[in-house]
Amino acid sequence: MTDRMTQPAHKRAVIAGAGMSEVGKVTGTAEEFAVAAINSALQDAGLGLGDVDGLLVSAGAMGGVSLDLAVTLGLRDLRLLSQLQAFGATATQMVQQAVLAVESGTATTVVCVWADDPIREAGREALYGSGIRPRSPWRAIHSAAGAVGANDLYAVATRRHMNRFGTTSEQLGHIAVAQREWAGLNPVAQKGDPITLADHAESRWISEPLRLLDCCLISNGAAAFVVTTADRASAGPHPAVEVRGWGQSHPGAYLQRNDDFGLVSGAARSGPAALDMARLALTDIDLVQLYDCYTFTVLLTLEDYGFCDKGEGGEFVASGVLGPGRSLALNTGGGQLSGYYLWGMTPLMEALTQVRGTAGQRQLAQHDTALVSGNGGIFSHHATLVLERAGS
Amino acid sequence: MPGSDDFLEAASRGVFLLRRCRECETVNSPDVSVCAQCHSLALDWSPASGSARLISWTVTHPKPPTPSRVLAVAELEEGPWWWADLEEADPAALAEGDTLAIAWRDSPVGRVPIFRPNGRVAALENVIPNHD
């Protein structure tokens, strides 16, 4: 693909604004959070609902938003309206799809939103994930045999990596500790109190070898962003963000033979693809926001992106590179482990905040270019974005 | 759904069916309708030997009173991987490459294949180490 930056400003699509609802243990429905996030994102972009002619909607675990959101928002004459679902890879995919829509002339201003409401008051409770996909006979067979529950399946992946490469629980603890330090600087983080490696080692087993502090939070909330052309965005109040590159990788063979399971993920393909499109190298990246449903997901992604050699992820994360003030600016809002869990919107929103220079107390001095990952299913779906502040 | 119905019918008789491709002879997982190797639709049901090699596992810790389980993924002798609980195993003694055998569990959806250690008996004092 030709260098995206060779496209003129009236054709090239950028991210013009972003916004979130309140997030965490907050009361409300997914649709209410979505409306708040969309209004926040449009205001951030200096635009209004009257400017919107495209909407991409994605629901989280509870299936609480759908195309009906267009009705709630009073949107008329949309030229693009779709629901997307690639689990944790959706947010990164929505950027790709919105950019393609604007650059093809399908729409001029596309809002992308993700919302979820798993934490519910009495009377509305439901099982986490009940809105994700219809029950199927094979899913029922696999569940009856025992293959049910993301924690368990990710734990099997983690143990395989430990057995093959000698990765340790303590090394995973370094990720948890560093991200909690970053969360302490983030006013919207759900968990800001510092933790130690000992705290991590003493946290209860979830599914061996994963402990409580290896696992992400659960959150209510929504996030949204606006994609439009660079020249439209340049009229807005804040810097736009260029989408320099993207990639997706879906290795397939879910629950079937997958020789790389736990050892190599789709990041090994989607990362290089995104950097190639961007004409950039890892050394050009200032900040990294990785999907961190578990500490292990971060470790595997770092290896697959090439921050260290395959199998050396444990040594790498334990070597002092992580945390505020250190050499690798990773998950600088606390991530899903300590910040908030809005699936793929967590790393994307933090990347946009940092790149645009609005990260307050945790703002990085060097913040031009970001690498963002999305990870869905059980290492089933992967997507990468390379983002850069306009004009840098 | 035809595939799962046939699978469960055979499972009720203690037979674990896999999908063998007539074109390239690859043995696929039972839940596919298209050969993963050559994309042919010419798949026949083919019974598994019941032997498998352990790849990885976890020990689950659900909220009490639900008991802990060992969930394993193992490579069947014919090639496909199968994920299932591994019963009557000492998780502290497991290693990649251990031989497992298929056993059967009755469930609301029907009989489904799970794992047991191969040739081992439940009582730990009868365990003979099979590797260093």
Q: What is the pLDDT of residues B46-86, one digit of tens each?
A: 999 999 999 999 999 999 999 999 999 999 999 999 999 99
Which DSSP string do the residues of A328-375 spell out, in sequence order?
--BSTT-IIIII---TTHHHHHHHHHHHTT--GGG--SS-SEEEEEEE
d(CA A103, CA A58): 21
Check the CA dihedral B38-B44-B75-B113 and report its sign: positive
Shortest CA gap B32–chain A (Å): 9
pLDDT value of position B2: 66
Amino acid letter, A226: V
Shortest CA gap B125–chain A (Å): 25
In chain A, % of residues over pLDDT 90: 94
DSSP state of B115: E
d(CA A4, CA A387): 12
A176: helix, strand or coil: helix
Contact yes or no for B110 and A155 at CB 8 A: no
Active site residue A305: no
pLDDT value of position B119: 59
Residue A295 φ/ψ, nearest 5 degrees: -55, -40
Joined tokens for residue A172: 């995973």
Q: Which residue has the tokens 């991200």?
A: A179
DSSP state of B29: P
Q: Which residues of B touch A209 (CB under 8 A)?
A: 58
In degrees, to the nearest 5, what angle opens at C-alpha A368 toward C-alphas A352 and A240?
A: 50
Residue A200 and residue A376 in contact, taking contact as beta carbons nearer than 8 Å: no
**What integer best gives the mean pLDDT of chain B?**
90
C-alpha separations of A159 from A261, A278, A377, B17 in Å: 11, 34, 18, 28
* Range B26-54 average pLDDT: 97
Which residues have a Cβ under 8 Å from the Cβ of B35 and sit 6 or more positions away?
B19, B21, B23, B24, B26, B28, B41, B42, B43
How many inter-chain contacts (A to B, CB under 8 Å) are there? 109
Residue A48 confidence (pLDDT) above 50:
yes
Joined tokens for residue A265: 């993920």
pLDDT value of position B1: 60
Which is higher by pLDDT, A209 or A132? A209
Residue A13 confidence (pLDDT) above 80:
yes
pLDDT value of position B125: 37
d(CA A30, CA A46): 24
Which DSSP string do the residues of A198-263 spell out, in sequence order?
HHHHHSPEEEETEEGGGB----BEEEEEEEEEHHHHTTSSS--EEEEEEEEE----TTS--TTTTT
Its pTM stands at 0.96
On whether any CB of chain A is under 8 Å from the CB of B72, the answer is yes
Shortest CA gap B114–chain A (Å): 6
Choosing from A291, A294, A305, A340, the catalytic residue is A291
Joined tokens for residue A236: 């807005």
Residue A347 and residue A385 in contact, taking contact as beta carbons nearer than 8 Å: no
d(CA A353, CA A13): 18
Chain A contacts in chain B segment 86-105 (CB below 8 A)? 91, 95-96, 105
Choosing from A294, A305, A340, A341, the catalytic residue is A341
Joined tokens for residue A118: 């798993």
d(CA A95, CA A43): 19
Q: Which residues of B touch A152 (CB under 8 A)?
A: 58, 60, 71
Residue of B nearest to A212 (CA): B61
Residue A67 φ/ψ, nearest 5 degrees: -60, -20
Residue A330 and residue A180 in contact, taking contact as beta carbons nearer than 8 Å: no
For residue range A307-336, list pLDDT tens digits in order. 999 999 999 999 999 999 999 999 999 999
Q: Which residues of B touch A204 (CB under 8 A)?
A: 61
**What integer best gives the mean pLDDT of chain A?**
97
Q: Which residues of A touch B81 (CB under 8 A)?
A: 255-258
d(CA A203, CA A336): 17
* Range A180-200 average pLDDT: 98
* Range A126-154 average pLDDT: 90
Residue B122 confidence (pLDDT) above 70:
no
Contact yes or no for A156 and B58 at CB 8 A: yes
Q: Which residues of B touch A138 (CB under 8 A)?
A: 1, 3-4, 31
Query: What is the ipTM metric for this complex?
Result: 0.94
d(CA A130, CA A115): 15
Packing angle of the helix pair A267-278, A295-305 (nearest 10 deg): 50
Contact yes or no for A204 and B56 at CB 8 A: no
From the list B4, B61, B73, which residue is nearest A138 (CB)?
Answer: B4
Residue A47 confidence (pLDDT) above 70:
yes
d(CA B47, CA B21): 13
DSSP state of A124: S
Residue B121 confidence (pLDDT) above 60:
no
Chain A contacts in chain B segment 34-63 (CB below 8 A)? 36, 55-61
Burial class (CB in 10 A: 0-12, 13-18, 19+), A152: buried
pLDDT value of position A53: 98
* Range A196-214 average pLDDT: 98
Active site residue A154: no
Helix (H) or strand (E) holding A174: helix A169-183
From the list A141, A159, A163, which residue is nearest B109 (CB)?
Answer: A141
In sequence order, the β-bridge partners of residue B105 are: B112
> Which residue of A148, A156, A158, A254 is the best one to mutate when testing the B interface, meaning the one whose CB has the most B CBs within 10 A?
A156
d(CA A307, CA A319): 13
Which residues have a Cβ under 8 Å from the Cβ of A127 and sit 6 or more positions away?
none
Q: Which residues of B touch A207 (CB under 8 A)?
A: 58-61, 71
d(CA A90, CA B10): 38
Contact yes or no for A257 and B29 at CB 8 A: yes
A45: helix, strand or coil: helix
